């Protein structure tokens, strides 16, 4: 079955399909979604997703990550590597036209599975590139990368969302909200005080969306960044 690529069903309903529909098959075009912790084997897909994000933001001149730099920094192999949620953490959004048959429990995060009913099937031009493994019917659709930050006034940590990305053909279906919500849920579960991220001031639609979900946009604060040669100079000076 390939709901994402199949044509819409014939418009004339027959008794049998109606009967089938009542047996747990949602109306429309169901797509099965799963949010899980990323593993080192996700790095090739992550690298491609981050590059797509750089293209989307017209910032490819700033893109210098490699699969190897991502592996070394996101999945360090040292014995003292922090646990998920206590350092850089990635949720992967997977989609499938068929129910997930194996969703193993994870010590740190039990994957969340949800069926979303779409009006139209999704045509994914990059199915093969983002197929999770040979022969599987599961595809990577997006990710969110976040890590703890800290509020001294609250005296407690929060989460900072560095990146939230959903591939083009899966946008405007609520998947971005699902990823952000998964981070918020985890923050609440851990007793954390805040979830924060940044938005471009001209991105009015995004700002409206964030305000509607209850986020405050801090208008007065500006980010300062020391990087490259200026960082080397400052960090090397006395």
List the one residue out of 76, 132, 49, 138 whose CA is nearest residue 101: 138
Select the span of 23-31, 96-104, 126-134, 206-214 touching its own copies (CB under 8 A).
Answer: 206-214
Least Å distance, CB 138 to its own copies, is: 22
For residue 6, give every residue at least 6 positions away whose Cβ sits within 8 Å of its Cβ, in sequence order, or none. Answer: 121
Pairwise CA distance, residues 133 & 58, whole Å: 30
Give yes or no for residue 226 binding its own copies (CB under 8 A): yes
Using an 8 Å Cβ cutoff, are 98 and 1 in contact? yes
- Choosing from 40, 108, 117, 189, the residue that interacts with its own copies (CB under 8 A) is 189
By the 8 A CB rule, do 199 and 207 touch?
yes
CB distance 116 to 170 below 8 Å: no
Shortest distance, position 63 Cβ to its own copies, whole Å: 5
Residues with Cβ within 8 Å of residue 158, at least 6 apart in sequence: 148, 149, 150, 151, 187, 192, 193, 194, 195, 196
Q: How far is the CB of 186 from its own copies (least distance, A)?
A: 8
As a whole number of Å, the end-to-end CA separation of the chain is: 65
| Binding range to its own copies, per CB under 8 A, among 29-37, 47-55, 125-133, 167-175 | 47-55
Instruction: For residues 130 and 51, give the distance between their C-alpha atoms in angstroms, rounded to a whole number.
Output: 13
Cα separation, 42 vs 86, in Å, equals: 19
Instruction: Name the token pair of 69.
Output: 């730099």
Q: Which of residues 14-33 bind its own copies (CB under 8 A)?
A: none
Give the C-alpha separation, 1 to 199, whole Å: 39
Q: Catalytic one among 160, 192, 210, 234?
A: 210
Stretch that binds its own copies, among 11-19, 21-29, 115-123, 218-226 (CB under 8 A): 218-226
The one among 50, 113, 132, 169 contacting its own copies by CB under 8 A:
50
Catalytic annotation present for 109 = no
Of 65-104, binders to its own copies (CB under 8 A) are 65-66, 69-70, 73-74, 80, 82-83, 86-88
User: In angstroms, what is the minimal distance from the CB of 79 to its own copies?
Assistant: 11
**Does 6 sit near its own copies (CB under 8 A)?**
no
Quote the least distance from Cβ 25 to its own copies, whole Å: 21
188 in contact with its own copies (CB under 8 A): yes
Catalytic residues: 210
């Amino acid at each position: 079955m390939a709901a994402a690529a199949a044509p819409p069903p014939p418009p004339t309903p027959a008794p049998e399909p109606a009967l089938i529909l009542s047996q747990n098959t949602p109306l429309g075009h169901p797509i099965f979604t799963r949010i899980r912790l990323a593993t080192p084997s996700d790095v090739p897909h992550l690298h491609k997703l981050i590059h797509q994000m750089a293209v989307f933001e017209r910032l490819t001149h700033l893109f210098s990550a490699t699969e190897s730099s991502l592996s070394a920094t996101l999945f360090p192999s040292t014995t003292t590597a922090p646990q998920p949620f206590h350092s850089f953490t990635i949720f992967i959004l997977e989609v499938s036209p068929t129910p997930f048959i194996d969703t193993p429990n994870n010590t740190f995060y039990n994957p969340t599975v949800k069926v979303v009913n779409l009006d139209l099937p999704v045509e994914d031009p990059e199915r093969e590139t983002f197929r999770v493994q040979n022969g599987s019917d599961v595809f990577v659709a997006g990710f969110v990368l976040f890590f703890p930050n800290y509020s001294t006034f609250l005296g407690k940590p929060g989460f900072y969302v560095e990146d939230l990305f959903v591939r083009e053909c899966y946008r405007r279906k609520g998947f971005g909200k699902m990823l952000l919500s998964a981070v918020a849920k985890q923050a609440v579960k851990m007793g954390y005080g805040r979830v924060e991220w940044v938005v471009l001031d001209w991105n009015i639609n995004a700002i409206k969306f964030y305000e509607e979900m209850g986020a405050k946009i801090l208008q007065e604060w500006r980010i300062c960044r020391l990087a490259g040669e200026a960082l080397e100079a400052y960090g090397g000076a006395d």
